[in-house]
Amino acid sequence: MCGIFGYIGDKNAPSLLLNGLRKLEYRGYDSAGIAVLNSEISISKCTGRVSDLEKVVPSEMVGKCGIAHTRWATHGAVTDENAHPHLSEDGSVAIIHNGIIENHRALRNWLVAEGVILRSETDSEVLAHLIHRAREDGLSPLNSVKRALKQVRGTWGLCVLFANEDVIVCARNGSPLWVGLGDGEAFVASDSHVLTTHTRDAVHLEDGDLAVLTAGEVKTSRIGSGLSDPTIITIDESWGEAELGDFPHFMLKEIHEQPESLRQCISGRTLLKNGNGKLGGIELSPKQLLNIPHIRLIGCGTALHACQVGRLAIEEFARVPTQSHVASEFKYNNPVISPNALYFAVSQSGETADTLAAVKEIQLKGGQVMGIVNVVGSSIARQCGRGIYIHSGPEQAVASTKAFSNMVASLAIFSIQLGRARNLSIDAGKSAVRALNKIPKQVENYLANQGSISEAVEAVKNANHVLFLGRGPSAPVAREGALKLMEVAYIPCLAYPAGEMKHGPIALLEKDSPVVVICPNDKFREKTLSNVQECKARGAKIILIHEEGDEEAAGEADIAIAVPKTHNMLSPLLTVIPLQLLAYHTAVDLGCDVDKPRNLAKSVTVE
Ligand code: AGP
């Protein structure tokens, strides 16, 4: 996943390109580069962040048309040479690419055999040479891109500059691209909210689309057809600039935004008087809800953990068999798709290639799949065509926090709605709805009184590994806490259902090994406390997330952190918060780059 931005119009391109890249850096930040057209093409690129690129862009680099790229490395190390843009040998073609060219090795070998001198290790560079060869054969900019794309297999979000041609040619297949139309200018970007600084009039490129941008006009095309006028839509979800405000990092800001983002997610979606949920986007009648034979929830990373919580909530409230699936495995395991079943693709960005591929596989086999997505108009939302927006607002930190909470809350509402169409009683429904409506305030109260986070940081920050344990709905919370600490503080973590610990992981424990145990006062409490004893018997240091008032549980811990009491199936919405804070503060204490952790990106748009 990389960030792509382009501009053609009457303004000086370099500063616009760099601003566009800054907003896209969450998509990858190994290296960055720009290409600017001023009759000839000039490029400037380097490893590091956009702030590093800014220092090397020559002041004499001027032009009113350009393309820009921020990279998350897939093929080729993080080096200046492998940074985008890539040039043809004579410098007359420049390309930036997001995606994977699957047959790049054969193409590289062929190009070398043809005498081409390759400058990088990347798969993307082949596109510059293929397009250039088509231009040498007299093809137009658009047709040279079309010919090149017929020679490659894979995915692309691609922008191409041509010397002496005031045009940008774009193409999309599997990696998102949006085109923005301004007054006498045009833009292209990897996601729509980057465009809203400049324009709300946009074209969402679909797989197989190409676009020709000139100053103020966009024409679209397909590989086998001519030019056509695109459908222009108005981008209505403008998140504007997510500003840091008084926070030192977006991750901490977004942790503290959870009370409000949860309110945005829950508001208007519950009916207390009959103990029900009301998710408009689901568009299923009670009769249809009654006839669903089983449900499948699909996601990656944090979204997968939300699926694992949601699975338990659906089975608890609605008694419908439900499974959660790793999106990257789903399509390749030749899944049995039932046309009557209900599938959910869960994704904050709505651009995760693994999850999008699962959606397409389900649809290919006649299944009905809905999105549970944060980014409005994203590829997964569009591909599903219906579902639930979780309304977290822009989540800039690579480590997902508020989106997890809103995914869990959305799935809880769906569970109640499905349950009330089946056997969930009005009283049980009311109890769940009441508890859910209290959650935002409870999260706010906890954030105002966080407990012994700093002690917990001291216990984990120098550890060789940290073990996270939980049972029932706390087991996926343990996985989520482990993922957070791994991805921002680079500490090896293991997460297990607490009952599994004695079947192997306990071997890791020695004196002062930190073990984080999530232990709300639910039906798993006794057994979880037994596991705590087993860990203590091996000298482990116990960090226990427990319910306010449960002094017995607190007494079993070296470090006890209390969270408010809530409905058993909603406890993840509270127990996850201290784990988010633990990860954040540990990362800060260790001097890690909290919002842009090494090797990661916010949206993984390659399979
Ligand atoms: C979570 O902190 C990670 N950034 C990552 O696991 C993320 O949840 C995963 O890549 C899925 O992203 P999505 O929700 O945008 O699909």
Burial annotation 290-329 (CB, 10 A radius, 16+ → b, else e): eebeebbbbbbbbbbbbbbbbbbbbbbbbebebebbbbbe
Decide: 347 in ligand 1 pocket, CB within 6 A: yes
Q: Is 392 in the pocket of ligand 1 (CB under 6 A)?
A: no
HSE, side-chain direction, 13 A CA sphere, residue 102: 8
Contact 72, 139 (CB under 8 A): no
**Cα torsion at 167, 173, 176, 179 (round to 10°)?**
30
Residue 1 reports pLDDT greater than 80:
no
Q: Is 487 in the pocket of ligand 1 (CB under 6 A)?
A: yes
Instruction: Report, in this order, helix, strand and coil percent for the chain, each rounded to 5.
Output: 40, 25, 35
* pLDDT bracket for residue 281 (50, 70, 90): confident
Q: What is the DSSP string of 523-557?
A: TTHHHHHHHHHHHHTTTPEEEEEEETT-HHHHHT-
pLDDT higher than 70, residue 77: yes
Number of Cβ within a 10 Å radius of residue 551:
10
C-alpha 19/C-alpha 201 separation (Å) is: 19
Span 51-58, average pLDDT: 93
Is the minimum distance from the CB of 175 to ligand 1 under 6 angstroms?
no
With 90 as the cut, is the pLDDT of residue 177 above it? yes
Rounded to an integer, what distance in angstroms lies between the CA atom of residue 470 and that of residue 146? Answer: 53
Structure confidence at residue 378 (pLDDT): 87
Ligand 1 centroid vs 75 CA: distance in angstroms?
A: 21
Ligand 1 centroid distance, CA of 504 (Å): 28
- 71 strand-pairing partners: 31
**How many whole angstroms from 300 Cα to the centroid of ligand 1?**
6
Residue 346: predicted pLDDT:
98
Report whether residue 603 contacts ligand 1, using a CB cutoff of 6 Å: yes
- Does the pLDDT at position 241 exceed 80? no
Do residues 290 and 319 touch, judged by C-beta distance below 8 A? no
Ligand 1 binding pocket includes 400 (Cβ within 6 Å): yes
* Mean residue pLDDT across the chain: 94
**pLDDT band at residue 27 under the 50/70/90 scheme:** confident
Residue nearest to atom 7 of ligand 1 (CA): 301
pLDDT for 78: 85
User: For residue 238, is pLDDT > 70?
Assistant: no
Q: Which two tokens stand for residue 363?
A: 């649809």
Asked if 427 and 273 count as a contact pair (C-beta separation under 8 A), the reply is no
**What φ, ψ does residue 81 adopt, rounded to 5°?**
-65, -35
Instruction: Please state the rounded mean pLDDT for residues 106-127.
Output: 96
How much distance in Å is there from the Cα of 484 to the middle of ligand 1?
Answer: 11
State the Cα–Cα distance between residues 168 and 179, nearest whole angstrom. 11
Ligand 1 pocket member 398 (CB < 6 A) = yes
For ligand 1, whether the C-beta of 378 sits within 6 Å is: no
How much distance in Å is there from the Cα of 351 to the middle of ligand 1?
10
Would you place residue 25 in the very low, low, confident or very high pLDDT band (cuts 50, 70, 90)? confident
Q: Which residue has the tokens 């010397």?
A: 163
**Which atom of ligand 1 has the smallest separation from the CA of 355?**
16
Does the beta carbon of 604 sit less than 6 angstroms from any atom of ligand 1?
yes
Nearest residue to 493 via CA among 529, 469, 525, 523: 469
Annotated catalytic residue within 2, 65, 170, 307: 2
Residue to probe by mutation, ligand 1, list 348, 398, 596, most atoms within 8 Å of CB: 348
Question: Is the Cβ atom of 580 under 6 angstroms away from ligand 1?
Answer: no
Contacts of 243 (CB under 8 A, 6+ apart): none
How far does residue 253's CA lie from ligand 1's centre (Å)?
18
- Under 8 Å between Cβ of 408 and 311: no
- pTM flag (> 0.75): yes
Q: DSSP class of residue 505? A: G
Residue 348 above 90 pLDDT? yes
Q: What is the pLDDT of residue 287?
A: 87
Percent share of the chain, pLDDT over 90: 86
Q: Is 303 in the pocket of ligand 1 (CB under 6 A)?
A: yes
CA distance 131 to 137: 10
Query: Considering Cα of 36, then 42, then 47, then 48, what sign does the dihedral take?
Result: negative
Distance, CA of 30 to CA of 46 (rounded, Å) = 9
pLDDT band at 88 (very low <50, low <70, confident <90, very high): very high
**Binding site membership of 349 for ligand 1 (Cβ less than 6 Å):** yes
Mutate to test the pocket of ligand 1, among 604, 606, 607 (most ligand atoms within 8 A of CB): 604
| 8 A C-beta contact, residue 142 and residue 221 | yes
Q: Which atom of ligand 1 is nearest to the CA of 399?
A: 2
Catalytic one of 23, 430, 596, 602 = 602
Ligand 1 atom nearest to CA at 403: 14
Q: Is the CB of 302 inside a 6 Å radius of any atom of ligand 1?
A: yes
CA of 155 to the centre of ligand 1 (A): 20
Contact 156, 171 (CB under 8 A): yes
Q: In a 10 Å sphere around its CB, with 0-12 CB exposed, 13-18 middle and 19+ buried, how is residue 150 labelled?
A: exposed
Q: Which atom of ligand 1 is nearest to the CA of 600?
A: 4
pLDDT score for 237: 61
User: pLDDT value at position 21?
Assistant: 93
User: Which 3 state secondary structure label does DSSP give 371?
Assistant: strand
- Predicted confidence at residue 75, as pLDDT, reads 81
- Where do the H-state alpha helices sit in 365-401? 379-384
Q: Based on the residue annotation, tell me whether 300 is a catalytic residue of this protein.
A: no
Alpha helices (runs of H) in 193-278, residue ranges in sequence order: 250-256, 258-266
Q: How far is ligand 1, taken at its centre, from the CA of residue 336, in Å? A: 25
Question: Over 90: is that where the pLDDT of 245 sits?
Answer: no
CA distance 70 to 49: 8
Report which ligand 1 atom has the smallest distance to the Cα of 380. 16
Q: State percent of the chain over pLDDT 70.
A: 99
Give 205's DSSP letter: P
Residue 448 dihedral angles phi and psi, to the nearest 5°: -80, -10
Question: What is the tens place of the pLDDT at every residue in 369-416?
Answer: 999 999 988 889 999 999 999 999 989 899 999 999 999 999 999 999
The residues with which 154 forms a beta bridge, in sequence order, are 101
For the stretch 412-457, pLDDT in tens is 999 999 999 999 999 999 999 999 999 999 999 999 999 999 999 9
pLDDT tops 80 at residue 240: no
Q: How far is the CA of 408 from the centre of ligand 1 (A)?
A: 14
pLDDT band at 20 (very low <50, low <70, confident <90, very high): very high
Of all protein residues, the one whose alpha carbon is nearest to atom 9 of ligand 1 is 301
Paired residues of 344 in beta bridges: 297, 370
Q: Is 602 a catalytic residue?
A: yes
Q: Of 93-97, 461-465, 473-477, 602-606, where does mean pLDDT reach its minimum?
A: 602-606
